[in-house]
Structure 1
């Protein structure tokens, strides 16, 4: 079976394409000084880029998991999410609160998408 690793870093790949699926690593904002809405928009831009690298787009997303450092920031995160989302192609989604590795990060998003055939 072929495995394709995208946006490889020291400890992880930004995404892995295998078995007809695209597995996204947890994405965090490039600019941790942004507010929750800004960090979310930045992360969604990164997800768009990873999916494009894999030959697809957000319409192929099957599932998304969102981690907020503070669940009270959900409305700000949802503003960026709603602006980005294709309302005809909504993935399953979960949102939880948990501490993130960098205390300046407010959001981390991971997900799974179908790979193009």
Structure 2
């Protein structure tokens, strides 16, 4: 079995490809002064870059878990998600209200895709 790791440190890899699947670490916004919609769009931009590194894209997503700190931001998060995901390519998805590691993060997204 071949395993490729991308953007790795002693604690985690941002992305790992194994057995034809791509597993992304929880992605968080790079700019935290934005609202939930903008933070989500920022995260999804990062996802596009990570998937492209392995020759994949958002049409090959198989599962997604979205973490949101406040359900009042659910619609804003979904506006960015809905604008990003192509029609007919939605992955299996869960959304969970959670306290995130950085209080400035409003959203964190964990995804898996096929290569």
- Alpha-carbon shift at residue 11 of structure 1 (Å): 1.9
TM-score by length of 2: 0.96
Give 1:1-117 correspondences, 5 Å limit: 1-115=1-115
List, as ranges, runs of 4+ consecutive aligned residues in structure 1 with deviation greater than 6 Å: none
- Alpha-carbon shift at residue 10 of structure 1 (Å): 4.6
Equivalent-residue separation in structure 1 for 2:103 and 2:72 (angstroms) = 16
- Alpha-carbon shift at residue 84 of structure 1 (Å): 0.4
Equivalent-residue separation in structure 1 for 2:42 and 2:72 (angstroms) = 19
SS class of match (2:45): helix
Consecutive unaligned residues of structure 1, counting only runs of 5 or more, are none
Consecutive unaligned residues of structure 2, counting only runs of 5 or more, are none
Equivalent-residue separation in structure 2 for 1:14 and 1:30 (angstroms) = 14
- Alpha-carbon shift at residue 88 of structure 1 (Å): 1.8
SS class of match (2:40): helix
TM-score by length of 1: 0.95
